[in-house]
Amino acid sequence: MSRYSALEVLKGGLTGQKHWQRAWRDPEPKQEYDAIIIGGGGHGLATAYYLAKLHGMSRIAVCEKGYLGGGNVGRNTTIVRSNYMLEDNAHFYEHGMKLWEELSQDINFNVMFSQRGIINLAHSDAQMDAFARRGNAMRLNGIDAELLTRDQVKEHLPMLDYSGKARFPVYGGLQQPRGGTARHDAVAWGYARAADMLGVDILQNCEVTGFDIHDGKVQGIQTTRGAIKSGKVGIAVAGNTSRVCALAGLNRLPIESHKLQAMVSEPLKPFIDTVCTFGAGHFYVSQSDKGGLVFGGDLDGYNSYAQRGNLPMVAHVLQCGMALMPAIGRIRLLRHWAGVMDMSMDGSPIISTTPVKGLYLNGGWCYGGFKATPASGWCFAHTVAQDRPHRLNEAFTLDRFERGYLIDEKGVGPIPALH
């Protein structure tokens, strides 16, 4: 398989780009694997890649019920950041940020990680203090952070409403300059191709229908493409975690599935140069390389497995949008959709062993799964391979809720829809 490079594309230009082969194979499932990862999304594919690359495992399968990258990695708002306050989060996401910074070269696939920065806007002194607390914690944890004044925000984001009419005036903001956006589909495809090159079998249209568990230990899985044996099975199906875990007898998890809406405008010439989040409502925005403004909003607020949003939340998001940047009034919304989120009880993920030996769980990502993709795969691979968490994910256990060691960045408690 040819390595991706400008030279190869130029060569292809002379021959009608005919020399490219499949980015990943379409193999038949083998009878047995050393490890099976359920879920061919970003996290599952990244896990398979790191298992193969860093943990010397060669017989690995990824089972995907549909087409790879069809879940949340293909329907998010592409934001990458590590601007967390709580220590467990900070170290985990910062590890991820470092992986992101080298990801394109690592997997030889341009994931277009663009470090355009992210600015969280503050609209009161109390919010500035809260951001200062977070920003100071970030700095002390070795993560880049800047506390911007109103004038500094204006330099980065001249299109916001700085008039006296703004309902919630901009006081300043917290910036992480290394944050930014990446091309979400490319992350799934890049990991898939890189994992495939290391021998990972990516089994699309292979839905898991059951688990073979004996004496509290996993023996394999049942799928729509037949039974597959393995003593190690990792679940990475955020959005559907409760459904898949129920097949393994893990009922009632600290998770609710909610849908989060996202939307994109028609493509425009450069309009906004950084990622920006509104501090007085649920709204965030960035601009894709194609030119579309990508907006995220709030959850619709009720349990749902539907990958479509309802109109009241679209209206709510755009009320926020218009209040923050009145220049978007004549820009048109091109598409809106929703993704199904695993909303966990403290807003933080689970990368953990489970009560079933050999069964591992990666889920509970709330809104934050995309940016975590490399770190999640990296830590989950370690957990699956070593049968214990890495130091970076040892706080993200499934039993932390019972023990009370919660990682509640927002401080809203066990109400999943509020995280």
Partner 1 sequence: MIRINCPWCGERNMVEFTYGGDANNVYPGLSEETSEKQYFEYTYLRDNPCGPHLEYWHHVNGCRQWIKVKRDTLTHEVIATVPADKPVGEKE
Partner 2 sequence: MATQSNRLPGGGEIDRGKPLTFRFDDKTYTGFQGDTLASALLANNVKLVGRSFKYHRPRGVFSAGPEEPNALVHLRSGDRQEPNTRATMIELYDGLIAESQNRGKSLRNDPQRINNLFKAFLPAGFYYKTFMGPFRNTRLWMFIEGFIRKSAGMGAASGLPDPDHYDQMSRHCEILVIGGGPAGLMAAKSAAANGARVILVDDRADPGGQLRYEQYEIDGKKGLDWINETVAGLEAMDNVFILRRTTAFGYYDHNFIGCVERVCDHLPEPEGNKPRQRVWNLQAGHVVLATGSHEQPMVFGNNDLPGIMLAGAVRTYVNQYGVVPGKRAVVFTSCDDAYRTAIALHDAGTTVVALVDTRKLDSSYAQQLLDRKIRIINDSAIVSAQGNADGVTSVEVHSLSGGGAQRLDCDLVAMSNGWAPALHLFSQSGGKTAWDADRNIFVPGDSKQAECSVGAANGNFSLKTCLEEGSAAGAMAASSTGFNTAVQAVPAVSEIHESAYEPLWECPDPAKGHPKKFVDHQDDVAVSDIQLAYREGYISVEHLKRYTTLGMGTDQGKTSNVPGLAIMAEARGCSIPEAGHTTFRPPYTPVSMGALGGAETGEHYMPIRRTAIDSWHEEQGCKWIDAGIWRRPRYYPQSGETIRDAFIRETGMTRGSVGMCDVTTLGKIDLQGPDTAEFLERIYINHWMKLPVGKARYGMMLREDGIAYDDGVTSRMSENHFVMTTTTANAVKVMANLEFYLQVIWPELRVQVTSVTEQWSAIAVAGPNSRKVIQKIVDIDVSNEAFPFMGASGCVAAGIPGCRLFRISFSGELAFEINVPCDYARYVCEKIYEAGREFDIVPYGTETLGNMRIEKGHVAGPELDGRTTADDLGLGMMMSKKKEFVGKRLAYRDSMTGENRKKFVGFVPADGKTPLKAGAQIVVNENAAPPVEMIGHVTSTGYCVEHDHPIGLGLIRGGLDAWKDRVVYMSYPLRNIIVPMKVVSPVFVDPEGERLHG
Answer for the pair 34, 384: CB distance below 8 angstroms, yes or no.
no
Instruction: Please list every residue from 220 through 259 that binds partner 1, using CB under 8 A.
Output: 240, 242-243, 252-257
HSE, side-chain direction, 13 A CA sphere, residue 169: 9
List binders of partner 1 among 299-328 (CB under 8 A).
Answer: 301-306, 310-312
Tell me which amino acid residue 299 is: L
The residue (of 234 and 364) whose beta carbon lies closer to partner 1 is: 364
Task: State how far the Cα of 247 lies from the Cα of 39, in Å rounded to an integer.
Answer: 14
| Stretch binding partner 2 (CB under 8 A), from 38-46, 244-252, 261-269, 364-372 | 261-269
| CB of 234 or CB of 281, closer to partner 2 | 281
Residue ranges in 335-374 that form contacts with partner 1 under rule CB under 8 A: 345
Stretch that binds partner 1, among 3-11, 193-201, 298-306, 371-379 (CB under 8 A): 298-306
Write out the E strands in 167-216. Answer: 172-176, 180-181, 201-203, 208-214
| Contact residues for 413 (Cβ-Cβ < 8 A; gap 6+) | 346
Choose which of 210, 319, 355, 391 interacts with partner 2 (CB under 8 A).
319
DSSP, collapsed to helix, strand or coil, labels residue 156 as helix
Q: Which does 416 bind (CB under 5 to 8 A by kind): partner 1, partner 2, none?
A: partner 1
Binding to partner 2 (CB under 8 A): which residues in 86-125? 87, 91, 101-102, 104-106, 108-110, 112-116, 123-125
What contacts 111, CB < 8 A, 6 or more positions away?
A: 103, 104, 182, 183, 186, 187, 190
- How is residue 6 annotated by DSSP? H
Q: Is residue 401 a contact point for partner 1 (CB under 8 A)?
A: yes
CA contacts within 13 A on the Cβ side of 65: 14
β-pair partners for 210: 222
DSSP state of 326: G
The nearer residue to partner 2, 57 or 194, going by C-beta atoms, is 194
State which residue, 21 or 215, has the beta carbon closest to partner 2: 21
298 binds partner 1 (CB under 8 A): no
Judge whether 173 and 188 are in contact, CB under 8 Å. Answer: no
Give the number of residues in contact with partner 1, rule: CB under 8 A: 25
In the list partner 1, partner 2, none, the entry touching 354 (Cβ below 5 to 8 angstroms by class) is none
d(CA 81, CA 8) in angstroms, rounded, equals 32
214 vs 270 by CB, closer to partner 2: 270
- Of partner 2, partner 1, none, which one does residue 230 interact with (CB within 5 to 8 Å by kind)? none
Question: Distance between CA atoms of 126 and 279, rounded to whole angstroms?
Answer: 11
Please give the size of the binding site for partner 2, defined by CB under 8 A: 120
Give the residue, chosen from 315, 355, 386, 391, that forms a contact with partner 2 under the rule CB under 8 A.
315
Question: What does 21 bind: partner 2, partner 1, none (CB cut-off 5 to 8 Å by kind)?
Answer: partner 2
- Please, which residues have CB within 8 angstroms of residue 102's CB and are 6 or more apart in sequence? none
Interacting residues toward partner 1 by CB under 8 A: 240, 242-243, 252-257, 301-306, 310-312, 345, 401-402, 414-417
